[in-house]
Amino acid sequence: MSAEKRTSWILTGATVACVTALYVPRVQRTVPGGDSGELITTACELGVAHPPGYPLFTLIARLAMCLLPSLSPAHSVNLVASLLGAAACGALCITVCSHEHSLRSLRCHLPPCSFACC
C-alpha cells in the first residue's frame, strides 16, 4: 500500500472515530420530532412508511432493535442512525482523499474557484 493510500485510510479512520465520538454520546434516547417517530414505528412493525418508505433503513433499524434488546426501540434506532452518519462521513472523507490529485490540478487551472474545492 502506498503512503498516500495509507494516509487517506488513516485520515478516514480518524474522521469516523471523531464523528462517532461526537454522535454516540449525544444520541436521543426517546422519540424525536419529525418523521423519526413514524420510521421507528415502521421498524418495530416492519411496515411501510410514507413514500419513499426507506426499506433499507427500516430493515437495518429492525436489526438494531433485535441486536440491542436492552435499549428502547427509539434509542437503538437513533444509535444506528448516528453510526450510519459517521459511516457517511467516512465515505465522504475517502472520496475526497481519492480525488485529491484531481482537486490539486483543478486548483492550478482555476485559481478563482479553488476555495470551493478545498
pLDDT at 101: 63
As to burial, measured by CB atoms within 10 angstroms (0-12 exposed, 13-18 middle, 19+ buried), residue 2 is: exposed
Of 87, 81, 55, 86, the closest CA to residue 68 belongs to: 81
The alpha carbon of 99 is separated from its chain's Cα centroid by a whole number of angstroms, namely: 20
Give the other-Cβ count within 10 Å of 32's Cβ: 13
Residue 118 and residue 101: Cα distance in Å, rounded? 12
Prediction pTM value: 0.78
Q: Domain extents for the chain?
A: 3-117
Residue 107 confidence (pLDDT) above 70: no
- pLDDT per position as a tens digit, 14-47: 999 999 999 999 999 998 888 888 999 999 999 8
Q: Which residue, chain included where needed, has cell 434506532?
A: 77
